[in-house]
């Protein structure tokens, strides 16, 4: 398989990315913003603490289909603590909360993603959006390379939600719970290439 990057630091700096731990919606059809773009009608929320990114990302994902419960309820179901949310807790809660859905874990070994990893993520995230479901990712972002900011002085392990895609350039829309909890300048959403998202997932993974 072709490796996208020799390591995540090299890849992110090559593409010019600026770089927290544990940093009721009606069901509608995905919105077609343009011929090549689809975005789910998710309800964005900002995580209230640095360690509530897991419950908040799950809340955003659930809101594409149902009215999610409160963050404290989701945190209890996910076993979230000040140490964050365990990787294995996400899929069971998404599956239990979304009738007819079966979410699965995709763990990605190593510090880089392959082209095959990116292609598989693209296929899965796009199929999810086309059927009205969001995908949750567990990122590992090294110091200085957080998207649309770059101010992180240490590595960040973080949960985010994919709630849309754009076929031109194979871009994914990321609903990022961190918001002002991490930085006042951080936007609520990012449009990132699937290769970049796969690279952030390397060493962690995603739930589809």
Query: Which tokens is 166 given?
Result: 């754009």
Residue 35's pLDDT is 58
Checking if the pLDDT of 4 tops 70, the result is no
Residue 168's pLDDT is 96
What is the residue whose two structure tokens read 């995230």? 125
Please tell me the distance from the alpha carbon of residue 100 to that of residue 95, in angstroms, as a whole number: 8
Checking if the pLDDT of 25 tops 60, the result is no
Under DSSP, the state recorded for 30 is P
- Over residues 103-138, the pLDDT tens digits come to 999 999 988 999 999 999 999 999 999 999 999 999
The answer to whether 157 touches 139, Cβ cutoff 8 Å, is yes
What's the rounded mean pLDDT across residues 92-101? 97
The answer to whether 198 touches 119, Cβ cutoff 8 Å, is no
Checking if the pLDDT of 198 tops 80, the result is yes
> CB-based contacts of 185: which residues, under 8 Å, 6+ apart?
149, 151
The answer to whether 133 touches 65, Cβ cutoff 8 Å, is yes
The answer to whether 118 touches 196, Cβ cutoff 8 Å, is no
105: phi then psi, degrees, rounded to nearest 5: -90, 140
Checking if the pLDDT of 64 tops 50, the result is yes
Residue 10's pLDDT is 37
- Over residues 35-53, the pLDDT tens digits come to 599 999 999 999 999 999 9
Q: What is the pTM of this model?
A: 0.86
E strand spans, 31-181: 31-34, 37-39, 105-107, 135-141, 156-166, 171-175
Under DSSP, the state recorded for 89 is G
The full set of domains in the chain, from first to last, is: 8-207 (3.90.70.10)
Q: What is the band of 66 on the pLDDT scale with cuts at 50, 70, 90?
A: very high
Residue 34's pLDDT is 53
Please tell me the distance from the alpha carbon of residue 42 to that of residue 117, in angstroms, as a whole number: 26
Report the share of the chain in percent with pLDDT over 90: 81
Checking if the pLDDT of 9 tops 90, the result is no
Please tell me the distance from the alpha carbon of residue 47 to that of residue 181, in angstroms, as a whole number: 7
């Amino acid at each position: 398989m072709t490796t996208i990057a020799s390591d995540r630091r090299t890849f992110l700096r090559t593409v010019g990315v600026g770089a927290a731990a544990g940093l009721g919606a009606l069901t509608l059809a995905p919105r077609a913003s343009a011929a090549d773009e689809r975005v789910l009608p998710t309800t964005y929320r900002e995580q209230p603490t640095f360690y509530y990114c897991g419950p908040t990302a799950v809340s955003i994902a659930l809101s594409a289909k149902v009215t999610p419960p409160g963050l404290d309820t989701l945190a209890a179901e996910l076993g979230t603590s000040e140490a964050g949310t365990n990787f294995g807790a996400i899929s069971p809660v998404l599956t239990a909360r979304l009738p007819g859905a079966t979410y699965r874990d995709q763990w990605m070994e190593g510090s880089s993603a392959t082209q095959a990893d990116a292609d598989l993520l693209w296929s899965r995230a796009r199929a999810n959006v086309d059927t009205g479901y969001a995908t949750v990712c567990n990122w590992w972002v090294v110091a200085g390379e957080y998207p649309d900011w770059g101010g992180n002085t240490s590595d960040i392990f973080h949960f985010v939600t994919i709630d849309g895609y754009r076929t031109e350039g194979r871009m994914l829309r990321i609903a990022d719970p961190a918001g002002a909890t991490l930085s006042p300048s951080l936007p609520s959403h990012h449009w990132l290439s699937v290769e970049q998202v796969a690279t952030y997932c390397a060493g962690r993974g995603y739930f589809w």
